[in-house]
Chain A
Amino acid sequence: MFIRDSAAVFHHAVRATFRTKAGVLIGAVQPLLYLALLGPLLARAVPGGGGWEVVVPGILLQLVLMSAGLAGFGVVFDRQTGVLERLRVTPASRAALLTGRVLRDALVLVAQSALILALGFALGLRAPVAGVLAGLAFVLVPALGLAALSYAVALRLPPEVFPPVMTTAIVPLMLLSGVFLPMSMAPGWLDAVSRAMPLRYVVDAMRDLFAGHYATGSVGIGLAVSVVFLAVALAAGTRAFQRESA
């Protein structure tokens, strides 16, 4: 039931994503802009070389925050058009209605991340393959969580409130996680505030992995934060889909 329903929702969502060439092109180019236009500046600003290994993980996380964080826009639309009620009347598993969408988001993020990595390598990134793959896994786990959370918020907030709230919330979340430069470079107060951001630990861990340091404290903390974040977010998302229904 759950798998069949998730697959159906996933298939339906993927078809929409790849419907138009223009949409696919925008989805491919947009995430590369930060890397191409801001990356070279940041890479130089990192003291002591190894700039790209610091910058690329941050840009990956920035992409995740933007795409996954704003994933709930789709639900806002489905609420307004009555699609969501229609799906909720079917016997489909409530968790599947969420999971199918989140899996589509994951597919898109993997594709976009691959593009970012390819451009990163072209620009000068020199990271071990194992570190890059591990780093990707680190970014995808919280991404799925964030997408689920975004859906949960979109289901709870009045439809006209979600877009401004979410777009406003995402910017400080992104900046405080240290996506552009490591927060260890920040003044004390900013560094302290950023420690409240779960995704800060994820990007710190990714930077270690990209530098080829696997057995560090940051990696351990990053892993724990990613997994807990995903679990909490999925629970909240499923609850939101069940809300109110008998």
Chain B
Amino acid sequence: MIVTRGLSRSFGRVEAVRGLDVEIGAGEIVGFLGPNGAGKTTTLRMLATLLRPTDGTATVAGHDLLADPRGVRRAIGYVRQGGSADPTRPVREELELQASLYGLRPPREHVARVCEAFGLTGLADRPPAALSGGQRRRLDLALGLIHRPRVLFLDEPTTGLDPRTRAALWDHVRRLREEGTTVLVSTHYLEEAEALYDRVLIIDGGAIVADGPPSALKSRAGGTLGDAYLALTADA
């Protein structure tokens, strides 16, 4: 579903992502781990067509990133680190715009559907500024999933959430697994990787340093996933 070949991005002299070669199959739920500044967001933004690679290429859902960005965009959902809703506009209006831009007809019905799925029904007339952190995160998910994408990119969806809200978000990801959605999720939380993901990619300094099921990484490190993580990533 996602294939990258030497995918790279530099910002001036900073090589944020260096020659990524990754293959992710349909329906895999993959955790993307790594310290701050490792290149997770840069990778996800390239795969979401927001950032042009300085080298290499990738296909997402069968569409080439550079040759067919619109094909990629139709197939993916992207939930940005830090949210993506206008804090001043009612939830309903933001979702209606999103539905319209994905060509969903009639927008209202699709908005009602995602509001139901993400527990936003009673909140649709509020602006995000009047929502709690967890409610805002659910809105971000609803915005990214309204068109039922086959591939979903989540950038640190659980950072800063309290444990209960985080667990609720995990449930949403588990539901996506049942629907066969391919999901690439960046996170700092190791316990999340153990609980949720089929496979983890660990990135450090812009390069993949480990790739496999959580159990395999643990046994290789002869300890917990935390031991594996600390052994593989450099001291920051």
Contacts and interface: CB of A to CB of B under 8 A. Distances in A.
Interface of A: 4-5, 8-9, 11-12, 15-16, 77-78, 81-83, 85-92, 244-246
Nearest to B74: A91
B101 A16 contact: no
In the A-B complex, the 8 residue pairs with the smallest Cβ-Cβ separation, listed nearest first, are: A8-B100, A82-B84, A86-B84, A90-B101, A91-B73, A92-B101, A12-B97, A246-B49
A10 to B, nearest CB: 11
Given A5-B101, A91-B70, A245 B86 contact: no
A89 B74 CA distance: 9
Which of A4, A5, A88, A89: most chain B Cβ within 10 A? A89
Interface of B: 46, 48-53, 65-66, 69-70, 72-74, 76-78, 80, 82-89, 93, 96-98, 100-103, 143
A85 B50 contact: yes
Contact of A90 (B66, B87, B102): B102
A4 B143 contact: no
Given A87-B101, A89-B77, 13 more contacts: A12-B97, A81-B84, A82-B80, A82-B84, A85-B50, A89-B76, A90-B98, A92-B101, A244-B50, A245-B49, A245-B51, A246-B49, A246-B72
A226 B49 CA distance: 35
A82 B97 contact: no
A38 B100 CA distance: 45
Given A4-B103, A5-B101, A89 B73 contact: yes
21 contacts: A4-B100, A5-B101, A8-B101, A11-B97, A12-B93, A81-B84, A81-B86, A81-B87, A82-B85, A83-B85, A83-B86, A86-B80, A88-B50, A89-B50, A89-B78, A91-B101, A244-B51, A245-B51, A245-B52, A246-B53, A246-B65
Nearest to A81: B86
Contacts of B73: 89-91
Q: Is the interface of A mostly helix, strand, loop or mixed?
A: helix
Contacts of B84: 81-83, 85-86
Contacts of A82: 80, 82-85
Contacts of A91: 70, 73-74, 101-103
Contacts of B80: 82, 85-86
Contacts of B76: 89
B89 A16 contact: yes
A45 to B, nearest CB: 43
Contacts of B51: 244-246
B102 A246 contact: no
A93 to B, nearest CB: 9
A82 B83 CA distance: 6
A244 B93 contact: no
Contacts of A85: 50, 78, 80, 84
Nearest to B89: A16
Contact of A245 (B69, B74, B85, B96): B69
Contacts of A5: 100-101
